[in-house]
Amino acid sequence: MKTTKSTDRRKFLLAAGLGSAGAVAAVATAGNKVKLPAAEAAAPDPKATAYRASAHILKYYKTTEV
């Protein structure tokens, strides 16, 4: 009877993990790259970047006060 080494399974799992990590990295960096016109890229909308706490957020903040 042929005995198998336990390192074969370890090598397989290592290769599978590295392959998965590589695939995730490739997908994450590929992304949809959309180029904006120069005017939109230079002047961001202040309403889109400003943080505004809504009523339910303020209520949550009050419940967390010590």
CB 22 within 8 A of CB 14: no
Q: Answer with the residue of higher pLDDT: 61 or 36.
A: 61
pTM for the model:
0.33
Residue type, 43: A
Sketch the domain layout of the chain as residue ranges.
Answer: 7-63
Q: Which two tokens stand for residue 39?
A: 């005017």
Rg value, the chain, Cα: 25
Kindly report the average pLDDT of the chain as a whole number.
74
CA atoms of 1 and 38, how far apart (whole Å): 71
CA atoms of 2 and 37, how far apart (whole Å): 66
CA atoms of 19 and 25, how far apart (whole Å): 10
| 56, pLDDT greater than 90 | yes
